[in-house]
A and B are shown apart, each in its own frame.
Chain A
Amino acid sequence: MTAVTPAPPSAAGAPAPTDAAPPNRPGGRSRLPAAAGFACGAALLFAVAPLALSDFRLALLAKYLCVAMVAVGIGIAWGRGGLLTLGQGVFFGLGGYAMAMHLKLADAGPGGMPDFMQLYGQLDELPVWWRPFASPWFALPATVLLPMAVAFGLGSLVFRRRVRGAYFAILSQALAAAMVILLIGQQGTTGGTNGLTDIQGFFGYDLDDPVNQRMVYFIIAGVLLALLALARQLVHSRYGELLVAVRDSEERVRFLGYDPASVKLVAYVVAAGMAGLAGALFVPAVGIISPALIGIVPSIEFVIGVAVGGRATLLGPVLGAVAVAWARTALSERFPGTWTYLQGLLFVVVVAFLPGGLASLWALARRRGAERAEVSTS
C-alpha cells in the first residue's frame, strides 16, 4: 500500500498541478502585489463592510471572520503540512471557554459566581480551576496558550510515533468527540450542553450596545489581517519550505537530517493557537460558547471551508470559510427545509471536481489568459 499522501501531491519535476498553488517560492512573488492585496482587504473589511451592512449582518460577518481565523491555521497545518486536523473545534473551544470564563466572572463582579453554577451545580464557591480566569492577565494569554499547550502535548505524542494521514485525521476527530462529552459531563462547572451563555460585557463595554458590537467587529477584522500577515511570513520562511517538503515526502526530509515530527508539531501548534484566538473573539461577537461549537460537526465544517476556498493558498482558506459560512446562512434563510441538500452538494462538487478549491479557478483563469496572450503574440 502506498503511503497516505496528503493531497495534493506535487511530484518534483512534474508540471505543477493546477490545484496546488505554488507554495515554494522563496520570498513570495514580489512584495508589491501582496501589499496591495493586503490594503485592498483592509479597505474592504474596515470601510466597505461597516458602511454597507446592517448591524445584524455585520455581527454575522464578525462571526464568519472568526471561522476564517481558524481556516488560516488549517491552511497552514493541512494545506502546507498535510495534517488533516479534524479536531480544530477543540482548540476553538478552549480559547472560547477561556475567554467566556473570564467574561462571566467579570459580569458576576468581584467575589461573584456565574449564575448557572448556583442553579445547576449548587456550588457555594468558585471551583479552583476557575479562579485564575478572573484575572485578564491570565485569561487572555490562556485563550491562545492553552490550546497551543494541548496541541503540543498531543502532537508530540502522536507525531513522534509517526501517526499520520487518515490515522491522524480520525484521531483528531475522536479528540473532539471526547472533549464534548467531558464538557457536558461537568455541567455544574462548565454549563453542560448549554455552554456559557448570556455574556453581557467585554472589558467594561456593554455588548448589547451596537457601537460596542462594531468595536468587536473591528478588533476581529484587525486580528484576522494580523494573522494573515503572520501566516504569510511563516509560509515564505525557511520553515515554510520545510513544512511543504514534509507534506510531499516525509521520508526524504528525514533522510536529509531534519526531524519531520518537530516540523509538523510547529504547524499543528500554530494552527491550534489561531483557532484558540478565533474562539476567544467569537465569544464577544456571538455571546455564547457551547459544546455544539466543538464537536465533530463544527470541526469538519471548519475544514470544509478551507477545502472550498483552496487549501494550499494563503487567502483561499479565508475566502472559503467566509463563503461557506455565508452560504450556510443565506441558503438556510431562503430554503429552511432543503438547504442541507445544497450545502452537501456544494461540498461534494467543490472537493471532488475542484480539488484546489475556488482559488484554483483564479489560477486557471490566469493561466488561460497567459496562454491566450502567447497565442496572440506568436
Chain B
Amino acid sequence: MTVLFGQLFTGISIGAVLLLVALGLALTFGQMNVINMAHGEFIMAGAYTTYVLQQSITGAGLSLLVALPVAFVVAGTTGMLLEILLIRRLYARPLDTLLVTWGVSLMLQQLARDIFGSPNVQTRAPDLLTGNVAVPGGLTVANNRLFILALALAAVTALTLALRLTPLGRRIRAVVQNRDLAAVSGIPTARVDRTTFFLGSGLAGLAGVALTLLGPIGPTMGTNLIIDAFLVVVVGGIGQLKGSVIVAFALGVLQATGEYLTTLSVAKVIVFVAIVAFLQWRPQGLFTLRTRSLA
C-alpha cells in the first residue's frame, strides 16, 4: 500500500518535471508553431547558470533562489537571440524550424563542452531540499520533488494569469488565433513573437535550475527530456496550457505505474502506445483551439 502511494507520488513528480520542461514548449511550439529542438539546450543553459552562480554565491539555498530569475533571463535571452537571428525567417516553414534548431542544439552542446569541459559538473543542493518529509502511513515524500511540483504549479499559474490578464497575454492570444487580423488591428506581431519566445525559453531555463536537484548537469542533459515534452504538448493540444498540464501528470502517473508493474523500458513503450491510441481518438489533442482557418 505504502509502495502504491509512493508510486502515485512518483508519478506526479515525473509529471511535474515533464510539465516544467513542456511549459516553455507549450508557448514556443503550442502558440507559435516553432519546433525548437534546442529547447533542451536552454534547459542546459539554466542548469549551468546555477553552477556558475554557485562559484560566487556559496550558500546553496541562496544561490538556488538567485539562479531562478537569472537562469530565466539567460535562457530567455538566448532564445530571443535565436528568434531574431533564425526563427524569424522560418515562421512560414514550421517543420524547417525543427532542422535548423537541431543544428543549433549541436553547436550549443559543443559550446558547453568547450566552456565547462566534457564531464558533468556538480551543484550543491540546500540541505533542506535533500531531505524528505514523513507522511502518515510510513510514506516519505522527497523535498526536492515537492519543490519542483510547487515550482511547476507556480509557473503554470503565473503563465495562465499572464496570458489571461495582461495586455501582453491578450496580444499573444490574438496573434495565435489570427495573426493577420492581429496585425491589421495594430498589434506588432514581430515583437509579440519575440517576447513569446523569450518567455518560452526562459521557462526552459527555470526547468534547468530545478533539474539540478534531480539529475546530471552536463552538455547532453537536455536531449533526453525534450521528446517526452513535445509529446506532452502534442497530446495536450496545441494552443492550450490546460491540456499540457493534464497530460503531463497523466503521462507521469502512467509511466510510474508501468515502471512498477513491468520494467522501465516496457513502461516507456506503453506510454508511446497509449499516445498513439489517444491520438486516434482525438487527433488534435485533448483540447483544441477553435480557429477560423481551414483545418
Contacts and interface: CB of A to CB of B under 8 A. Distances in A.
Contacts of A174: 227, 231, 272, 275
Given A4-B33, A351-B100, A84 B231 contact: no
Interface string B176-198: 11010000000000000000000
Contact of A158 (B176, B179, B279): B279
B66 interface: no
B86 A348 contact: yes
Given A1-B176, A161-B279, A163-B279, A307 B99 contact: yes
B35 A166 contact: yes
Nearest to B293: A2
Contact of B279 (A171, A340, A344): A171
Of A2, A86, A162, A250, most buried by chain B (CB within 10 Å of CB) is A2
Nearest to A163: B283
B106 A178 contact: no
A347 B103 CA distance: 5
A57 B268 CA distance: 40
A158 B276 contact: yes
Given A178-B269, A345-B103, A352-B90, A251 B294 contact: yes
Given A296-B227, A303-B99, A251 B295 contact: yes
A184 B268 CA distance: 12
A170 B291 contact: no
A157 B90 CA distance: 30
A300 B102 contact: yes
A345 B102 CA distance: 10
B100 A347 contact: yes
Interface in B209-235: 227, 230-231, 234
A7 B96 contact: yes
A86 to B, nearest CB: 8
A182 B269 contact: yes
A86 B37 CA distance: 13
A86 B280 CA distance: 19
A54 interface: no
A250 B294 CA distance: 10
A304 B269 CA distance: 26
B81 interface: no
Contacts of B230: 170, 173
Nearest to B285: A167
A233 interface: no
A190 B279 CA distance: 30
Given A1-B239, A170-B231, A355-B96, A340 B106 contact: yes
B149 to A, nearest CB: 25
B283 to A, nearest CB: 4
Contacts of A352: 86, 89-90, 96, 100
A6 interface: yes
B98 A84 contact: yes
Given A181-B269, A185-B265, A340-B110, A169 B275 contact: no
A345 B265 CA distance: 34
B231 A1 contact: no
Interface in A328-371: 338, 340-341, 343-348, 351-353, 355
Nearest to A347: B103
Contacts of B177: 1
A5 interface: yes
Contact of B283 (A161, A303, A355): A161
A169 B99 contact: no
Nearest to B271: A178
B289 interface: yes
B34 to A, nearest CB: 9
Contacts of A167: 234, 279, 283
B107 interface: yes
Contact of B106 (A86, A161, A303, A347): A347
A351 B90 CA distance: 9
A348 B100 contact: yes
B238 interface: yes
Interface in A105-124: none
A3 interface: yes
B52 to A, nearest CB: 22
6 contacts: A161-B279, A166-B29, A170-B231, A345-B103, A347-B99, A348-B100
Interface of A: 1-9, 84, 86, 154, 157-158, 161-163, 165-167, 169-171, 173-175, 177-178, 181-182, 184-185, 250-251, 296, 300, 303-304, 307, 338, 340-341, 343-348, 351-353, 355
Given A171-B234, A351-B99, 6 more contacts: A1-B33, A4-B95, A162-B295, A166-B94, A341-B111, A355-B96
Interface of B: 29, 33, 35, 86, 89-90, 92-96, 98-100, 102-107, 109-111, 176-177, 179, 227, 230-231, 234, 238-239, 263, 265-266, 268-269, 272, 275-276, 279-280, 283, 289, 291, 293-295
